[in-house]
Amino acid sequence: MTDRNWEAELAKIDKQLASVSDDQLLAKPVPAGKALPPGKSPPSVASAPSVRTATAPTTSATTGTWRGWVKVVIAVAGAAGLMFWPFAGHCGWPLVGFTAATGAVALLGVWSAVGTWRHRLGVAHFASLLVIVWGVLLGAREVLPRIGYAIPTELRGAHWQCEMGSPSLSAPNTAPTVLPPANPVPSTPRA
């Protein structure tokens, strides 16, 4: 391994950077695949304008912004939809469906977080992170008691399969309630 004097190396780099202007550092290079006409040399850095003009935002930047927000709206709608899940997911296939939905919501949050990070949408990125946390928490609430890590409750038992007599298997009480008559008729005749 060679011993270098890193202070001297860094001093050389600093000296080279100091000799180059900001315009020269920020000049766009000519793409390697693009051929120049014969006899023409690539434009020199000295010919670059000394003042950079501000350009209007491109359509891809605005397109990316609204696409990022659409991703966040989809993820938040999925997270809110878990609050109105139509099935009692205590055991069996409804539980598997709900657990898969929580995983899908977490993945939607990751998908929207990547898009919002690329387009530097701070508030939308924060909302995406909240969606990820929401999906993971709801999934953990269902999975952890069943793998023995959390204390099982009546709603979240220790089993994935439904047992006989569980609330998910029992049919709703559809039998009509029989009320006693308003004026009861005595069963014994009066004397």
Mean pLDDT of 170-191: 56
Rounded distance between C-alpha atoms, residue 91 and residue 141, angstroms: 13
Instruction: Annotate 59-91 with DSSP letters as a single string.
Output: HHHHHHHHHHHHHHHHHHHHHHHGGG-SS--SS
| Structural tokens at position 114 | 């990547």
Q: Is 152 left (phi over 0), alpha (psi -120 to 50) or beta?
A: beta
- Extract the tokens encoding 156: 């979240």
List pLDDT tens digits, range 13-24.
888 888 887 777
Mean pLDDT across the chain: 75
pLDDT digits (tens, 9 = 90+) for 98-140: 889 999 999 999 999 998 998 889 899 999 999 999 999 988 8
Instruction: pLDDT band for 75, please (50, 70, 90 cuts).
Output: very high
